[in-house]
Amino acid sequence: MPQLQLPIFATGMNVINANLGYMCTGNSLTYFYGCLSVFTHDVDDQRSFRMITSQFYANGSATQAEICRAFGVSSISVKRSVKLYREKGIAGFFEEPRRRGAAVLTPEVLQDAQRLFDEGLEISEVATKQGVLADTLRKAIRSGKLHKPIKKKMRVSNP
């Protein structure tokens, strides 16, 4: 006959359900299953929080409603985390987010724009000739993808 586990939680522990709880000590958050510590992470570590709560749900240790109630998070955020956990596993929470590359400033456009800047044209003139927005070129200059030659000051001589 299987032996039942009594829900024994230490003082100061926040209860998620009858078997699962968490305790915040200092700058770390520790999760307990019964009286056994199962995971610890930094309070500000969102990726680890999303990963462990998804794992609790996927393993059947907690329901989405219990997680939402215990931590005050929205149900859709829990659902998204669980979907990520099921598709990519634990590694999915710690990979860098995919970002779209430069669609307008291709290497050819950058090279041509730099040639026009070297000829002494202004940003607005280069933008018109390249068919891109002037703000796009300004951002490229600020990020270092392009550089605009410094104009030489002319000296005025007095007769």
What does each of the 159 residues of the chain score in pLDDT, given as a tens digit? 565 666 566 777 899 998 999 999 999 999 999 888 999 999 999 999 999 999 999 999 999 999 999 999 999 999 999 999 999 999 999 998 887 666 788 888 899 999 999 988 899 999 999 889 999 899 889 988 888 877 655 666 665
Residues of the domain holding 55 = 14-93
Query: Does residue 24 sit in the same domain as residue 69?
Result: yes
On whether residue 18 sits in a domain, the answer given is: yes
Q: Note the pLDDT of residue 115.
A: 92
pLDDT of residue 103: 75
pLDDT value for 97: 82
Q: Within this chain, do residues 31 and 88 fall inside the same structural domain, yes or no?
A: yes
- Same domain flag for 79 and 115: no
Residue 69's region, left for phi above 0, alpha for psi from -120 to 50, else beta, is alpha
- Which of 45, 98, 51, 97 lies closest to 77 in space, CA to CA? 51
Position 153 in a domain: no
Residue 47: inside a domain:
yes
pLDDT at 1: 58
Same domain for 48 and 88, yes or no, is: yes
Judge if 83 and 30 occupy the same domain.
Answer: yes
Same domain, 18 and 73: yes
Domain count, the chain: 2
Q: Let me know if residue 4 belongs to a domain.
A: no
Q: Is residue 88 helix, strand or coil?
A: helix
22: in domain: yes
Look at residue 156 and tell me if it is in a domain.
no
Among 78, 54, 50, 80, smallest CA distance to 65 is for 78
One domain for residues 80 and 115: no
CA angle 63, 66, 69 (to 5 degrees): 150
For 146, phi then psi, to 5°, come to: -130, 155
Does one domain contain both 21 and 44? yes
Residues 53, 124, single domain; the answer is no
